[in-house]
Amino acid sequence: MRLHTVRDPWARPATYRTFSRTAARRRTITLGVLAAACGLVMTACGSQVAPGTAASSATSSAGTATSSGSPSAAGVDGCVTSRLKISLTNTGALAGQAGGYLKFTNDSNTPCRMSGWPAVTALTAAGQATRLRHMQSSMFGAWQYTAPPRVVTLQPGDSAYAIVAATNKPAGDNTRCPAPYVRLRVSPPGDAGDVTISAWLPGAVSYLPACASADGSPTAGTSTITTLSSLPH
Choose the most confident range, by mean pLDDT, from 1-10, 15-24, 109-118.
109-118
Count structural domains, the chain.
2
145 and 56 assigned to the same domain: no
Residues 90 and 62 in one domain: no
- Claim to verify: residue 207 and residue 150 sit in the same structural domain: yes
In a domain, 73, yes or no: no
User: Does residue 71 form part of some domain?
Assistant: no
Identify each DSSP E strand in 18-172 by its residue range. Answer: 84-94, 97-106, 112-115, 119-124, 129-131, 133-134, 137-138, 143-144, 151-154, 159-167
Q: Tell me which residue of 176, 168, 161, 175 sits closest to 219, measured CA to CA.
A: 168
Domain interval for residue 33: 11-66
Claim to verify: residue 131 and residue 205 sit in the same structural domain: yes
Q: Is residue 58 domain-shared with residue 96, that is, in the same domain?
A: no
The model carries a pTM of 0.68
Same domain, 62 and 99: no
Residues 45-81 have pLDDT tens digits of: 333 333 333 333 333 333 322 222 334 455 799 999 9
Residue 19 and residue 117 in one domain:
no
4 found inside a domain: no
Question: Is pLDDT of 15 > 50?
Answer: no
| Residues 159 and 46 both lie in one domain | no
